[in-house]
């Protein structure tokens, strides 16, 4: 028994193969880029996520990656709206992998905190992200409420994003259709 514990645990011992190890290593490398203090390095790392999702389409990896992107999205730093634009583009381009998100509520919690920002562009980028997530969170009442409130926005950029998100949710959600037919 002591000899079994003395040897190092390998990836195969815990049910991971070399491909999983490579995916985790790639995610770890991208995470280093996300934690950079330079906006350019963050955006470069973010731009590599679609390739990561294509090469390693594992739900656990995609879930972890999307939660990391949501965390970067909610941070308020110089250049944060540029970083948010990059995240929106990743969410838009990776639509076929979004259904692999396991912690949907945690992802939404991180993203929707930006809706309380004083910056209309930040709120617009949040609405666009939520719009692209409609296939995954279409029946979420809180998200639908945020979108409906944003349809009263005074800022053009926020209003356009709210309209885009509302269209996406209307196409996916029975609840949205029912609410609008009651009005």
pLDDT in tens, 53-83: 999 999 999 999 999 999 999 998 888 999 9
Residue 178: per-residue pLDDT: 54
Confidence class for position 23, pLDDT limits 50, 70, 90: confident
Question: Do 30 and 76 lie in a common domain?
Answer: yes
Q: Are residues 127 and 48 in the same domain?
A: no
Sign of the four-CA dihedral 151, 156, 158, 162:
positive
Q: How many domains does the chain have?
A: 2
Ramachandran quadrant class, 59 (left: phi over 0; alpha: psi -120 to 50; beta: rest): alpha
Residues contacting residue 71 through CB under 8 Å, at least 6 positions apart? 34, 110
Helix 141-150 × helix 156-172 angle, to 10°: 140
**Domain ranges, residue 19:** 13-102
How many whole angstroms separate alpha carbon 70 and alpha carbon 35?
13
CA distance 113 to 79: 17
The answer to whether residues 89 and 27 belong to one domain is: yes
Domain termination site, one of 47, 72, 102: 102
Q: What is the mean pLDDT of the chain?
A: 86
Whole-number pLDDT of residue 173: 66
Last residue of a domain, one of 75, 102, 129: 102
SS (H, E, C) 109-153: HHHHHHHHCCCHHHHHHHHHHHHHCHHHHCCCHHHHHHHHHHCCC
Rg (CA), the chain: 19
The mean per-residue pLDDT over the stretch 85-89 comes to: 98
Total-model pTM: 0.82
> Residue 43, exposed/middle/buried by CB under 10 A (0-12, 13-18, 19+)?
buried
Cα–Cα distance for residue pair 46/92, rounded to 1 Å? 13
């Amino acid at each position: 028994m002591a000899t079994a514990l003395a040897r190092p645990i390998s990836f195969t011992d815990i049910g991971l193969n070399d491909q999983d190890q490579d995916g985790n290593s790639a995610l770890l490398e991208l995470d280093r880029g996300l934690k950079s203090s330079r906006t350019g390095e963050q955006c470069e790392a973010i731009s590599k996520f679609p390739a990561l999702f294509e090469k390693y389409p594992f739900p656990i990896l995609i879930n972890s990656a999307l939660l990391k992107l949501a965390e970067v999205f909610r941070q308020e730093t110089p250049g944060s709206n540029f970083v948010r634009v990059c995240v929106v583009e990743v969410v838009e381009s990776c639509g076929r992998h979004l259904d692999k998100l396991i912690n949907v509520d945690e992802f939404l919690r991180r993203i929707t905190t930006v809706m309380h920002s004083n910056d209309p562009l930040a709120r617009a980028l949040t609405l666009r992200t939520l719009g692209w997530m409609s296939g995954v969170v279409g029946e979420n009442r809180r998200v639908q409420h945020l979108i409906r409130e944003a349809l009263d926005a005074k800022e053009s950029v926020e209003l356009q994003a709210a309209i885009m998100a509302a269209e996406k949710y209307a196409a996916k959600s029975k609840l949205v259709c029912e609410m609008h037919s009651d009005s």
